Chains A and B, each alone.
Chain A
């Protein structure tokens, strides 16, 4: 090292070359490290920006913000409760609708039909559902789903808005199915075949093998898939914004209109004309950020534990 660094000794061209290469090598390694640090900085930056910008609202409203029932920017009253309820309601209804589908897809493509053209076709179709942009789901929902829901509402004798929790949940359900399903497929394929063969040898039917061997083995992993789809559903913005009706009242039934945290931000952010209003919206973003991050990290942790075992 000494002789390379000391210019006195560097007369040899080759040494010079390797000296410059060495510099490049050090520079290259530093760039790699810098980019990894940049990632950490982005996340820290996101967090601090959200906290700093929502400070005025946190100071003015405190924790009561979360269960304040009225959101009225004109009167300067901000309560996030209607949107928390809206978000939870749409996400959980979507989850309840989507879980049978994603489990069925996972079992079918993981166990019944893991190979072949039909299996490939179905798998690609599922991936396509995840690929279609949410704005297109929203647009389609606006012109096709809303009239359908309106007819349903007339049959049930409720006000036929068409917009509302149910419409948003239906579209959300379609959108989140792939997230649980594609994870489930790979997990079910990982079940060791000696376990299944053992059960078959004892005379179990296919259904019994799935119920008593595959399901218990993959339970935690499938649950993680559900968590990841929940994370998606909570943060989904555009399709929900277009379909939920955007009212700041607390939804009383699944046909009622409402708002989710993400859709309020999308709707009102550019209209927010004073600091407190804006920072109340950002605080919603902060809550959303925390909730989705925690849900995602728990899901990822479960998957890592599952795959390591």
Chain B
């Protein structure tokens, strides 16, 4: 009997060892990737890199200003489209959870979350690029906005559902009209939660390449015109990484480093907001 208990304990400990090993092993590739990007990319970043446009083939140097401006403009436009729409749909879902419309739009949010980004690219190509006759930053922004929607909607919905009903009831009993109750009481109370959803969605789309391949396409010029093709950080990395030129690889490493920093910062901001918000609740 003693011996069997011993065996069972040993077995249990071996199992624990395997679990701990596998759980921590996964951090190894991540650390290797991060260090590699930092090693290759950080050295590329200087003032000229941030403000210059790509040099033609054969010349060294050049910068990624076109991609920085392009990513900024497109993510900003996408946010302007996606945040109001997403918040409105999220408010509807949290306020009317049992209607038929809520069922179907909730189902659509689930579907949208699973749609591969390349499919969004194809569809926006037929919605905007083909009718307008040119690749454009606008179509890229719309594609990104569609990718942002599910995260904004779900975070709005879930945050507002957590708020106590008494809050809304108190405001309503004072005779405050419905829209003001939502806009002045419920949304401000859940603001941090919604904000964390927004930063998370931006962090997700800023690195999206696939939906931009057939929409914003890419361009070697610094421009903020929504009707024209526009470069973006991930698309620039893709074109330069798959090119045969050493100089362009270096530009791509630098751009990867900057993109990674953006994504990390946005994720840290999200973390800080959610932590703060949890304390407030």
Which residues of A approach B to under 8 Å, CB–CB? 18, 21-22, 24-25, 27-29, 31-40, 42-43, 45-46, 49-50, 53, 100-101, 104-105, 107-109, 112, 122, 124-129, 131-140, 142-144, 174, 177, 205-208, 210, 231, 234-238, 242, 262, 265-266, 269-270, 282, 285, 288-289, 292-293, 295-297, 300
Minimum CB–CB distance for A90 against chain B, Å: 14
Q: Are B122 and A131 in contact (CB under 8 A)?
A: no
Q: Are A135 and B123 in contact (CB under 8 A)?
A: no
Q: Are B179 and A101 in contact (CB under 8 A)?
A: no
Tell me, in angstroms, the Cα distance from A278 to B107 when the chains sit together: 30
Q: Is B29 an interface residue (CB 8 A)?
A: yes
Q: Which of A36, A205, A282 contacts B105 (CB 8 A)?
A: A36
A35 and B237 contact, Cβ closer than 8 Å, known pairs A45-B123, A133-B209, A266-B118: no
Q: Is B234 an interface residue (CB 8 A)?
A: yes
Q: Which of A25, A134, A242 contacts B242 (CB 8 A)?
A: A242
Q: Which of A31, A124, A292 contacts B271 (CB 8 A)?
A: A124
The residues of B that contact A112 with a CB separation of less than 8 Å are 16, 19-20
Listed by A's residue number, 6 A-B pairs whose Cβ atoms lie within 8 Å are A21-B177, A33-B92, A107-B19, A144-B36, A174-B30, A231-B114
Q: Are B209 and A206 in contact (CB under 8 A)?
A: no
Q: Are B11 and A262 in contact (CB under 8 A)?
A: no
How many CB-defined contacts (below 8 Å) exist between A and B? 241
Q: Are A36 and B89 in contact (CB under 8 A)?
A: yes
Q: Which of B42-50, B54-62, B72-80, B258-266 contacts A (4 or more CB under 8 A)?
A: B258-266
A134 and B207 contact, Cβ closer than 8 Å, known pairs A37-B105, A40-B104: yes
Q: Are B105 and A39 in contact (CB under 8 A)?
A: yes
Q: Which of B8, B29, B85, B208 contacts A133 (CB 8 A)?
A: B208
Tell me, in angstroms, the Cα distance from A295 to B71 when the chains sit together: 32
The residues of B that contact A242 with a CB separation of less than 8 Å are 238, 241-242
Q: Are A140 and B119 in contact (CB under 8 A)?
A: no
The residues of B that contact A105 with a CB separation of less than 8 Å are 22-23, 26
Q: Are B126 and A49 in contact (CB under 8 A)?
A: yes
Q: Is B137 an interface residue (CB 8 A)?
A: no
Q: Are A205 and B11 in contact (CB under 8 A)?
A: yes
Tell me, in angstroms, the Cα distance from A22 to B123 when the chains sit together: 39
The residues of A that contact B169 with a CB separation of less than 8 Å are none
Task: Please name the residue on chain B nearest to A124 by beta carbon.
Answer: B271
Q: Are A131 and B238 in contact (CB under 8 A)?
A: no
B181-199 to A contact mask, C-beta < 8 Å, 1/0: 0100000000000000000
Q: Is B111 an interface residue (CB 8 A)?
A: yes
Q: Are B267 and A131 in contact (CB under 8 A)?
A: yes
Tell me, in angstroms, the Cα distance from A129 to B34 when the chains sit together: 10
Q: Are B241 and A142 in contact (CB under 8 A)?
A: yes
The residues of A that contact B37 with a CB separation of less than 8 Å are 136, 140
Tell me, in angstroms, the Cα distance from A137 to B254 when the chains sit together: 15
Q: Is B159 an interface residue (CB 8 A)?
A: no
Tell me, in angstroms, the Cα distance from A138 to B256 when the chains sit together: 11
The residues of A that contact B110 with a CB separation of less than 8 Å are 296-297, 300
Q: Which of B126, B177, B178 contacts A53 (CB 8 A)?
A: B126
The residues of A that contact B271 with a CB separation of less than 8 Å are 124
Tell me, in angstroms, the Cα distance from A40 to B104 when the chains sit together: 7
Identify 8 new A-B residue pairs, CB closer than 8 A, beyond the known A46-B115, A237-B210: A29-B178, A46-B120, A207-B12, A235-B119, A269-B213, A289-B116, A296-B111, A297-B110
Q: Which of B113, B209, B263 contacts A132 (CB 8 A)?
A: B263
Q: Are A139 and B105 in contact (CB under 8 A)?
A: no
Q: Are A134 and B209 in contact (CB under 8 A)?
A: yes
B1-32 to A contact mask, C-beta < 8 Å, 1/0: 00000001101100110111111111101101
Tell me, in angstroms, the Cα distance from A180 to B49 when the chains sit together: 39
Q: Are A32 and B95 in contact (CB under 8 A)?
A: yes
Q: Are B213 and A296 in contact (CB under 8 A)?
A: no
The residues of B that contact A108 with a CB separation of less than 8 Å are 19-20, 23
Q: Are B116 and A270 in contact (CB under 8 A)?
A: no
The residues of A that contact B115 with a CB separation of less than 8 Å are 46, 235, 289, 292-293
Minimum CB–CB distance for B263 against chain A, Å: 6
Q: Are B119 and A285 in contact (CB under 8 A)?
A: yes
Q: Are B213 and A270 in contact (CB under 8 A)?
A: yes
Q: Which of B192-220 contact A (CB under 8 A)?
A: 203-204, 206-210, 213-214
Q: Which of B16, B33, B108 contacts A140 (CB 8 A)?
A: B33
Q: Are B105 and A40 in contact (CB under 8 A)?
A: yes
The residues of A that contact B123 with a CB separation of less than 8 Å are 45-46, 49-50
Q: Which of B95-115 contact A (CB under 8 A)?
A: 95, 101-102, 104-105, 107-115
Q: Are A208 and B256 in contact (CB under 8 A)?
A: no
Q: Which of B227-268 contact A (CB under 8 A)?
A: 234, 237-238, 241-242, 249, 252-253, 256, 259-260, 263-264, 267
Q: Are A237 and B118 in contact (CB under 8 A)?
A: yes
Minimum CB–CB distance for A281 against chain B, Å: 8
Tell me, in angstroms, the Cα distance from A269 to B102 when the chains sit together: 36
Q: Is B93 an interface residue (CB 8 A)?
A: yes
Q: Are A39 and B112 in contact (CB under 8 A)?
A: yes
Tell me, in angstroms, the Cα distance from A270 to B213 when the chains sit together: 8
Task: Please name the residue on chain A nearest to B135 by beta carbon.
Answer: A270
